[in-house]
Amino acid sequence: MGRVESPAEVAQPGDRVAVMVLQVSPAEHKVSLSLKRLRPDPWQKVDGRYRVGQTLDAVITNVVSFGAFARLEPGLEGLIHISELAEGSFMHPRNVVNEGDRVRVRV
């Protein structure tokens, strides 16, 4: 599971889900839960799955003024700095890539 914009993307009212209890605050009548913490950390053993210089397919997940974030696998994203996006000058990274684009990246 990668980044989500809304809890409705992963669960609906009435769904049964396994969660980890993070915090119980009786005074505030709140319980903090996590779905994500029950899943394996995609960053563990990342150096065994990827190597420096390797070229891979990725999906652009977010474009910001200083570059673009690309997802290699769910939960594993990296920044492509603006200086690495394209040759020449361009006003904004959105002139080169957009969210959802499939791109080739080098680790």
User: pLDDT-based confidence at 57, cuts 50/70/90?
Assistant: very high
Q: What total number of domains does the chain contain?
A: 1
**CB 67 within 8 Å of CB 93:** yes
With H, G, I as helix, E, B as strand and everything else as coil, classify residue 84: helix
pTM here is: 0.71
**CB 73 within 8 Å of CB 57:** no
Asked whether residue 1 carries a pLDDT value surpassing 70, the answer given is no
Please report whether residue 22 resides in a domain. no
Please report whether residue 97 resides in a domain. yes
CATH number reported for the structural domain that contains residue 65 in this entry: 2.40.50.140
Domain that holds residue 60: 46-106
Question: Distance (Å, rounded) from C-alpha 64 to C-alpha 19?
Answer: 32
Mean pLDDT, residues 52-59 taken together = 96
Q: For 29-55, how does the pLDDT look when each residue is reduced to its tens digit (9 = 90+)?
A: 999 999 888 888 888 889 899 999 999
Please report whether residue 85 resides in a domain. yes
Please report whether residue 39 resides in a domain. no
DSSP symbols for 18-64: --EEEEEEGGGTEEEEESGGGSPPTTTTHHHH--TT-EEEEEEEEEE
Pairing of strands 76-81, 55-64: unpaired
Please report whether residue 25 resides in a domain. no
Q: For 71-92, how does the pLDDT look when each residue is reduced to its tens digit (9 = 90+)?
A: 999 889 999 999 999 888 888 9
Question: Distance (Å, rounded) from C-alpha 10 to C-alpha 67?
Answer: 28
Please report whether residue 89 resides in a domain. yes
